[in-house]
Copies of this chain bind each other. A is one copy, B any other.
């Protein structure tokens, strides 16, 4: 079975074509700056193999449909093609950010599903409309091929009420649908299952804390395979500190900034999403740049790094309390997989929780699942590369079989 995975953003479209016989990536790429004067398509056939072929096109890409058409031409073309007929694609898996309370699992897209996705637009105004557009473009270009929607929020739909409800007037949950939804669910699901496999256990038999640290960062408390709590909230702003997002702050700060800076609440919101986090503290939002700056004696960069690790550490403690006891911690995503310094800072001095990192094993970037705890550690610590595309493709296969 061949599955095309699509992640459509407001002005971009990422894709990956997977051969599910062997879970190999046949092609992947990204269409960027859709709607601008000069768009860009970067395509790779057989990426990271000896047969890799890369094609880059820079030209106006008016809309997502035209972008997707270009991708289809490349995939089936002679230059860097990997299949000869679009019909070879058995299913298309779509990442959809906000499933709200309508979706507790992935599902095959039909009319009512599209209505339900659109119904969640107010909760994810930047993402859901774009995701839906991706689905509609796929329906047009691949008539007859089933589309599957996989939600970022789905894995978190098992949270109990005391974890997902905010202590706000209850009407605000009923009417405005304000609650914790959580995001990065596909990644948390993937690595929480993968770590069980690596440990030779069933996901249903272990408690895991998953730590997804990329540009966006989130954590999840996973109890016997089910998400019990997660750090992002109604939106992806909440939780730990991120590249440009504040994470948790005293909610009174919003009004205080609004008043003192003459800003509207939504301008403050934008400040918290785009000018805060690592960038707010030290001016840099890429962890690699932060490490270089620290090496050059930049104290603000060091402070940003310490703040970042400190907040993750607190959530590890909180989720240990929630789960009662934990079997493993998993680090994943850009920082989680590649940044041994940050991982070490987070795990320092946690042996009171039974967490003993082997700092030698931790050294270096990890391209594959790697255990980084000492033999004596009660809790196992793993680094596991995430693979949201594979997870989406697997869910599509599962659903259609």
Contacts of A314 in B (CB 8 A): 229, 318-319, 321-322
227-261 of chain A: CB within 8 A of chain B = 229, 232-235, 237-238, 241-242, 245-261
**Contact A167/B317 with A176-B260, A251-B253, A252-B238 known, Cβ cut-off 8 Å:** no
Interface residue A158 (Cβ < 8 Å from any Cβ of B): no
Contacts of A143 in B (CB 8 A): none
User: With A and B bound together, what is the CA distance between A136 and B266 in angstroms?
Assistant: 41
User: With A and B bound together, what is the CA distance between A324 and B353 in angstroms?
Assistant: 8
Q: Which residues of A pack against B, CB within 8 Å?
A: 161-163, 165-170, 172, 176, 178, 180, 229, 232-235, 237-238, 241-242, 245-261, 264-266, 268-269, 271-273, 275-278, 280-282, 300, 303-304, 306-308, 310-311, 313-326, 349-354
Q: List 27 A-B contacts (CB under 8 A).
A: A161-B303, A161-B306, A162-B307, A162-B310, A163-B310, A165-B281, A166-B246, A167-B304, A168-B246, A168-B281, A169-B271, A170-B280, A178-B253, A178-B257, A180-B250, A232-B250, A235-B250, A248-B248, A255-B268, A258-B264, A265-B265, A314-B319, A314-B322, A315-B318, A317-B322, A320-B321, A325-B352
Contacts of A264 in B (CB 8 A): 255, 258, 265
Contacts of A247 in B (CB 8 A): 167
Nearest-CB residue, chain B, relative to A180 = B250
User: With A and B bound together, what is the CA distance between A258 and B316 in angstroms?
Assistant: 32
Contacts of A303 in B (CB 8 A): 161-162, 165
How far is the CB of A302 from the nearest CB of chain B, in Å?
10
Query: Which of A172, A237, A265, A325 has the most chain B CB atoms closer than 10 A to its own CB?
Result: A265
Cβ–Cβ contact B318 & A253, under 8 A: no
Contacts of A233 in B (CB 8 A): 249-250, 252-253
How far is the CB of A396 from the nearest CB of chain B, in Å?
30
Contacts of A265 in B (CB 8 A): 254-255, 258-259, 264-265, 268
How far is the CB of A83 from the nearest CB of chain B, in Å?
42
Question: How many copies are assembled?
Answer: 2
Nearest-CB residue, chain B, relative to A346 = B321
How far is the CB of A372 from the nearest CB of chain B, in Å?
18
User: With A and B bound together, what is the CA distance between A342 and B306 in angstroms?
Assistant: 34
Contacts of A354 in B (CB 8 A): 352
Cβ–Cβ contact A353 & B320, under 8 A: yes
Cβ–Cβ contact A313 & B320, under 8 A: no
Nearest-CB residue, chain B, relative to A315 = B318
Partner of A266, one of B234, B258, B311, B351: B258
Contacts of A280 in B (CB 8 A): 167-170, 172
Contacts of A325 in B (CB 8 A): 352
User: With A and B bound together, what is the CA distance between A314 and B275 in angstroms?
Assistant: 28
User: With A and B bound together, what is the CA distance between A249 and B250 in angstroms?
Assistant: 8
Cβ–Cβ contact A307 & B167, under 8 A: yes
Contacts of A278 in B (CB 8 A): 167
User: With A and B bound together, what is the CA distance between A257 and B161 in angstroms?
Assistant: 21
**Contact A350/B322 with A168-B246, A178-B253, A255-B265 known, Cβ cut-off 8 Å:** no
Partner of A300, one of B170, B241, B257, B276: B170
Partner of A276, one of B169, B232, B317, B322: B169
Cβ–Cβ contact A168 & B249, under 8 A: yes
User: With A and B bound together, what is the CA distance between A216 and B326 in angstroms?
Assistant: 32
Partner of A318, one of B169, B176, B281, B318: B318
Top 5 closest pairs, chain A to chain B, by CB: A317-B321, A233-B250, A325-B352, A238-B250, A255-B265
